[in-house]
Structures are given as structure tokens and as C-alpha cells.
């Protein structure tokens, strides 16, 4: 029932002028999870992640090394699949009555790790994507 109510609220907000100001933090969060999916897939396929950057218009970029064709397909599709899997995991954890505090802590640690490792440290060490650091760092810390 909660999921249906959340869906209805999302649809209603779609048609309200200037509602994007209310949903902006959620769009940034989903973009970060999406880009984290690309990064995780790159690591799982034996590739490396150069940097992860978020933009103020709620878009993002993740630069990875790519191996063969299968690796490229997995990394490319992992953004949407990763965001969907993360959302499904949250729903499962809520359904299993896992303490919200633990779910929030786990999500926060994941976002913090993505922000610090691929949004700050890797770009500074390898001098890649330096222009994306300020907003990525601000958004990651805020989330």
C-alpha cells in the first residue's frame, strides 16, 4: 500500500509546477546510485573506475576502463539495473522489517564511499574530471 501511495504522489508531483525543487535531492540521489551501478559493474568485471561526477542538472558521468564487448555491455547497462536493484533491495529490507536505522546507515556508507573514492580521491590522484569534484562532493556529503 505504501508503494502505491508513493507512486501516486510521484505522478501528482509530475504535473505540479515547480515541484522539481521538492524532488531535486531525490533526483541527485538516484543519479548517484545510477552512476555507482556503472562503477560497481566496472569493478566486478575487472576494470577500473577513473572518476564519478555529478552535475547540477542531475546528470552524471562515470569514467571507467573497458575490457571486451561483454564487459562494455555489462558496464553500460549497470546504471539502470543498479538503481533498480538498489530500490528493490530497499523494498526487501523494509518488508523484512530490518531496522530503518541500519538501512539508512548502509545507504549512507555506500554514498559516502562512492563520493570520497571516485568523486574526490581518484580524480585528484589521477587528475581526471577535476571540474566535477565540487558539486559531486557537495551532493554526496549532503545526501
For residue 56, the SS3 value is: coil
β-strand partners of 49: 64
Q: Is residue 124 part of a domain?
A: yes
pLDDT at 6 over 90: no
Residue span of the structural domain in which 113 resides: 32-142
Q: Is residue 81 part of a domain?
A: yes
Query: Taking all residues of the chain, what is their mean pLDDT, rounded to a whole number?
Result: 92
Give the containing element (helix H, strand E) for 13.
helix 2-14
Predicted TM-score of the model (pTM): 0.89
Distances (CA, A) of 135 to 13, 32, 53, 57, 130: 25, 12, 8, 11, 11
pLDDT at 128 over 80: no
When pLDDT is cut at 50, 70 and 90, the band that residue 77 belongs to is very high
Rounded CA-CA distance 80/22 in Å is 23
Our count of domains for the chain comes to 1
Amino acid at each position: 500500500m505504501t508503494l502505491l501511495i508513493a507512486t501516486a504522489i510521484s505522478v501528482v508531483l509530475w504535473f505540479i509546477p515547480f515541484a522539481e525543487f521538492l524532488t531535486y535531492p531525490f533526483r541527485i540521489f538516484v543519479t548517484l546510485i545510477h552512476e555507482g551501478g556503472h562503477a560497481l559493474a566496472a569493478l566486478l568485471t575487472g576494470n577500473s573506475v577513473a572518476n564519478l561526477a555529478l552535475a547540477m542538472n542531475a546528470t552524471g558521468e562515470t569514467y571507467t576502463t573497458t575490457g571486451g564487448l561483454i564487459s562494455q555491455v555489462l558496464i553500460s547497462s549497470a546504471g539502470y539495473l543498479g538503481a533498480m536493484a538498489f530500490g528493490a533491495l530497499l523494498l526487501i529490507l523494509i518488508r523484512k522489517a530490518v531496522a530503518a536505522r541500519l538501512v539508512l546507515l548502509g545507504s549512507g556508507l555506500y554514498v559516502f564511499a562512492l563520493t570520497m573514492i571516485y568523486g574526490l580521491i581518484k580524480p585528484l590522484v589521477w587528475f581526471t574530471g577535476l571540474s566535477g569534484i565540487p558539486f559531486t562532493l557537495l551532493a554526496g556529503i549532503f545526501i
